[in-house]
Amino acid sequence: MISAYVRNNIPSDAINCLYKMLTYDVNPDFYTFPPVLKACRNTKDGTRIHCWILKSGLEWDVFVAASLVHMYCRFDLFDSAYQIFSNMPARDMGCWNAIILGFCQNGKVDKAVNVLDEMKFEGIKMDSITVSTVLPVYAQMDDMLQGRLLHLYVINHGLDSDLFVSNAFVNFYAKFGEVEQAQKIFDNLVTKDLVSWNSIIAAYEHNHFPDCAVDFFCQMQMKGFKPDLLTLVSIASSIAQSRDSSRSKCVHGFILRRCWFDKDVIIGNTVVDMYGQNGLASEAIEVYRMMVETASVTPNQGTWASIIPAYAHIRVLKEGATTYGKVLKNGLLLNVFIGTCLVDLYGKCGQVEDAMLLFYEVPRTSSVPWNAVISSLGIHGHGEKSLQLFRNMLDERAHPHTMTFISLLSACSHSGLVEQGECCINVMQKEYGIKPGLKHYGVW
């Protein structure tokens, strides 16, 4: 009965059932405690059950002890978890995996590696769960060598046919830019699941091969796999990279048909960004409106960072100002990216003074906000002010980049400042080592 409550996600009834069992003087055994420990909602429940385990003399049963380790790790009580683990007279793979997984899931990377070293020292072989747990740790540590050594271990011990392990290695190699190796592992899979397809699509998206990601998205559907939210996040990002407006609309329709905007704010943010990257500002705004109208999805910082440039693109100040109010309400004006987007919005809409006021509210240690305000002044014929801001920028030790000089040259061009523009080109090359490109000559 207790197990049934746990399987059906009714933890409180599982614990109450144990207490009733005890009131009837029915002694729990090693089958009783593992599901009850899984049902514990807080440390109070957990320590109380632990006391009953001690009274029952079952603390060193391998299944009960492993469940205690899991429970304490779940509540971030790693010292207690490791103390139980260390004192166990016999430890099976479940116990080793439990403590390693607990440390990994809670960011205790060094301790997870220490336990793994202890496991190797005792001559215990890793299984597929251990490998799949440890591999992301090596990725997090940027330790490519240990990942490769682990891959050799997997091949030598016949674990490379395990789907869970292979999917983990696709993600691992993709993280280090080794897309060909990720592709090789994917191709060698006898059986592929949705995670496999999502992993290879994400691998190409993460490494800026958007066309390949889209190709695998098409292959995936031809093989009968239905995309989920993770698939759409990767594919929308890929299409944003490729700047393919026709494919953007296809993905938009695909998501609309599945009503995914009202399920996940990340999907909405990604699609808004996808449209923005493809210059489809009106479509981006449509998606944003749908998100706002959907009570179950609350736009966040990522949403506003994507939608404000869309308003700027089509010069819609009224709705942009409404978004500005929401940014203020959420205390995000000091975020350099959102603040810069607002500077750009007001500048492009001709509200130069408001753009300047916003500019002085934004952190100015990077070139990003300076580029936005220099550009805003320049497109409205304030070339001299743009040049003065550039001098102020240097005084405040913000380092200019390519976009800074594109904005400056555009400002000089709009104001007919030929000599000053030529001077900017010289400074750009001699002092900052930036060679003029097509974009520089295009605005000059």
Please give the pLDDT value at position 21. 82
Please give the pLDDT value at position 375. 92
Please give the pLDDT value at position 297. 64
- The CA–CA distances, whole Å, from 329 to 107, 332, 333 equal 32, 8, 9
* Residue extents of the structural domains in the chain: 371-444
Strands (E), 112-182: none
The CA-to-CA distance between both ends of the chain, in Å, stands at: 77
Q: By the 8 A CB rule, do 371 and 404 touch?
A: yes
Please give the pLDDT value at position 261. 62
Residue 319: exposure state from Cβ atoms within 10 A (0-12, 13-18, ≥19): middle
Phi and psi based region of residue 88 (left: phi greater than 0; alpha: psi -120 to 50; beta: remaining): beta
**Pick from 216, 189, 188: nearest CA to 201:** 216
Please give the pLDDT value at position 252. 66
What pTM was estimated for this model as a whole? Answer: 0.64
Q: Give the position of tokens 């490998």.
A: 131
Q: What are the φ and ψ backbone dihedral angles of 286, each rounded to 5 degrees? A: -60, -45
Please give the pLDDT value at position 260. 65
Over the chain (444 residues), the average pLDDT of each successive run of 10 is 79 82 78 86 89 86 86 86 86 85 82 89 91 90 93 94 95 95 96 96 94 93 89 81 73 69 71 73 81 70 83 83 80 80 90 92 90 92 93 92 92 90 91 84 72
